[in-house]
Amino acid sequence: MYPEFSTAGEALAWLEANDIRRVELVFADLTSVARGKILSRASFAETLGAKMPSLFLGLTVTGGEPPEVFKRIFPPMFPDMAMRPDWRTLVRDPLAGVPTATLICDIEASFTAADGHCQYEVAELSPRQLLKRTLARLKAAGYTAKVAPELEFFLVHPQRTAEGGLQVAHGMSAQVPHIESSHDLASAETAGTFAPFFDELWAACEAQNIPITGYGHESALGQYEVNFAPGEPLAQADAVFRFKRLAREIARRHGCFATFMAKPYLTEPGTGLHWHISLADSAGNNPFTAADGSPHPRLKHFIGGWQASARASMAILAPYAHSYVRLHRPDASPASVEWGYDNRTAAFRVPHSDPANRRVEHRLPGGDANPYLSLALMLGAGLAGMQQQIEPGPEVSDRPAVSERGALPADLSEALVELQRCPIMTEVFGAPFIELYNMIKQHELNEQSADADFAIKHLLARS
């Protein structure tokens, strides 16, 4: 574990004291890919940052450059963005051969749109900074949040099946590979066969202050879930962003893929990224709980904000065409926008807890969702629900039927239409981001239509 830094001087002193030779600077793009540079310690000490071309905020998951984006938004000269380190994120890179530290950065730049229609600040287009903006709005309303993610992923064999599909990774702990069957669901023994991977991953998480509390085999073949301790939203989004990088790299070192794509196998449950969310007011009290210990109306209003924006939110929480396979196949994933007490089949669950710890769980995001955008959406929509006193639909106590009001979008195209006309989403993200996001996603849809192997080729190792 490492101390939390607040100034450049503290960070530079730590780099020198620990003989760090290189410093990695990264930011998260719309697809959660870490973009950035690696500098020598001496160079970093001089610049305290780096510059990157603004075009990296306009790329699709394939690296494609949508013509619409670069005709309307980003100027053809691709002006630089300044990368400003968040000193609190300084940690050692446990996987680097040379002593290396890593920092997550915010980005700064102003430019005139390519077609001259407006002036942009790149902070309006940066997932991490959009989350920071939502947290500032939440604080201005008198609240702070704690969140705890539950992140699922699959360990996948590097070789395809004869039919070109994916196959489950084999166990690592014995000379005789462990081949999974349906009997292995939630099996501690099966999880144990991947101990070399999880031991290295856990140690790497500790080195980067990622607050994992445990892991286990999930309900699909080759699927695992990692739980995180509750924490401040920005730090938790950083933790998920970093965890995905570590899991992918460590899995490769052990001869397999760790993938967060939404539905690797059509016959198995998909990959979720569920978030437990609680609030506190300025006095430290839980605003979801009334003085007598019963649920406060604010709890339902928070859920009401989620329901009112749910169809639009799926463009963010299910960001690829492939993501909708998870939502529309009969397994553990919610298929509607209903809510209920301790009901895991509902999209929005109020887990059983004592009054002081009352919280809500958002169960719609897939493992392929951007953690910064997801949290900005959930906290922003919940705040809108409380401020506008939006009443949710009735509680459901069993597996909800899909009503006309509660149906999720059929596909990404439908979700993008909803995103562009949802006032809550415009309030959360702003019109500039929604315009950019829609252009990028429309281009990805065109790319996928020309590539039958799109999901495995582009999402297996990146989502």
Q: Check which CATH number belongs to the domain holding 112 and give it.
A: 3.10.20.70
Do 202 and 266 lie in a common domain?
yes
**Which tens digits make up the pLDDT trace of 195-211?**
999 999 999 999 999 99
Q: Is residue 2 part of a domain?
A: no
pLDDT, residue 182, reads 60
Q: Is residue 409 part of a domain?
A: yes
pLDDT, residue 179, reads 64
pLDDT, residue 1, reads 47
What lies within 8 Å, CB to CB, of 116 at 6+ separation is none
Q: Is residue 367 part of a domain?
A: yes
Beta pairing class for 143-156 and 223-228: antiparallel
**Which tens digits make up the pLDDT trace of 127-152?**
999 999 999 999 999 999 999 999 99
Do 226 and 313 lie in a common domain?
yes
Residue 180 confidence (pLDDT) above 50: yes
Do 407 and 316 lie in a common domain?
yes
Query: What is the DSSP-derived secondary structure letter of residue 281?
Result: E
Average pLDDT, the chain: 92
Structure tokens at 95: 């996987």
Spatial distance between the Cα atoms of 220 and 156, rounded to a whole number of angstroms: 12
Do 110 and 149 lie in a common domain?
no
pLDDT, residue 174, reads 59
Question: Mean per-residue pLDDT for 375-393?
Answer: 98
Residue 317 confidence (pLDDT) above 60: yes
Question: Mean per-residue pLDDT for 160-179?
Answer: 76
Residue 401 confidence (pLDDT) above 60: no
Q: Is residue 61 part of a domain?
A: yes
Q: Is residue 402 part of a domain?
A: yes
Question: Mean per-residue pLDDT for 363-392?
Answer: 98
Question: Mean per-residue pLDDT for 43-51?
Answer: 97
Do 99 and 146 lie in a common domain?
no
pLDDT, residue 345, reads 85
pLDDT, residue 183, reads 58
Domain count for the chain, please give it: 2
Do 91 and 178 lie in a common domain?
no
Question: Mean per-residue pLDDT for 305-331?
Answer: 92
Q: Is residue 1 part of a domain?
A: no
Question: Mean per-residue pLDDT for 61-72?
Answer: 91
Do 92 and 187 lie in a common domain?
no
The amino acid present at 303, given as its one-letter code, is I
In this prediction, residue 354 has a pLDDT band, given cuts at 50, 70 and 90, of very high
pLDDT, residue 78, reads 84
In this prediction, residue 15 has a pLDDT band, given cuts at 50, 70 and 90, of very high
Reduce the secondary structure of the chain to three states and give it as a string.
CCCCCCCHHHHHHHHHHCCCCEEEEEEECCCCCEEEEEEEHHHHHHHCCEEEEHHHHCCCCCCCCCHHHHHHCCCCCCCEEEEEECHHHCEECCCCCCCEEEEEEEEECEEECCCCCCEEEHHHCCHHHHHHHHHHHHHHCCEEEEEEEEEEEEEECCCCCCCCCCCECCCCCCCCCCCCCHHHCCCHHHHHCCHHHHHHHHHHHHHCCCCEEEEEECCCCCEEEEEECCECHHHHHHHHHHHHHHHHHHHHHCCCEEECCCCCCCCCCCCEEEEEEEEEECCCCCCCECCCCCECHHHHHHHHHHHHHHHHHHHHHCCCCCHHHHHCCCCCCCCECCEEECCCCCCEEECCCCHHHCCEEECCCECCCCHHHHHHHHHHHHHHHHHHCCCCCCCCCCCCCCCCCCECCCCHHHHHHHHHCCHHHHHHHCHHHHHHHHHHHHHHHHHHHCCCCHHHHHHCCCC
Which of 58, 93, 122 corresponds to the end of one domain?
122
**Which tens digits make up the pLDDT trace of 356-375?**
999 999 999 999 999 999 99
pLDDT > 70 fraction of the chain, expressed in percent and rounded: 94
Do 16 and 141 lie in a common domain?
no
Do 89 and 167 lie in a common domain?
no
pTM metric for this prediction: 0.95
Q: CATH no. for residue 379?
A: 3.30.590.10
pLDDT, residue 404, reads 47
**Which tens digits make up the pLDDT trace of 229-278?**
999 999 999 999 999 999 999 999 999 999 999 999 988 899 999 999 99
- What count of other Cβ atoms lies within 10 Å of the Cβ of residue 243? 25
Which of 122, 156, 181 corresponds to the end of one domain?
122
In this prediction, residue 116 has a pLDDT band, given cuts at 50, 70 and 90, of confident
Residue whose structure tokens are 């998909």: 270
pLDDT > 90 fraction of the chain, expressed in percent and rounded: 76
Residue 164 confidence (pLDDT) above 90: no
Residue whose structure tokens are 């793009």: 29
Question: Mean per-residue pLDDT for 52-75?
Answer: 91
Higher pLDDT pick, 76 / 398: 76
Alpha-carbon distance values, 13 to 8, 26, 90, 211 (Å): 9, 21, 12, 25
Question: Mean per-residue pLDDT for 168-173?
Answer: 78
Residue 433 confidence (pLDDT) above 50: yes
Question: Mean per-residue pLDDT for 185-204?
Answer: 86
Do 149 and 44 lie in a common domain?
no
Spatial distance between the Cα atoms of 135 and 236, rounded to a whole number of angstroms: 13
Do 181 and 327 lie in a common domain?
yes
Q: Is residue 130 part of a domain?
A: no
Which of 122, 153, 169 corresponds to the end of one domain?
122
Residue 47, domain extent? 8-122
Spatial distance between the Cα atoms of 397 and 34, rounded to a whole number of angstroms: 41
Do 202 and 113 lie in a common domain?
no
pLDDT, residue 192, reads 79
What lies within 8 Å, CB to CB, of 411 at 6+ separation is 321, 324
Q: Is residue 3 part of a domain?
A: no
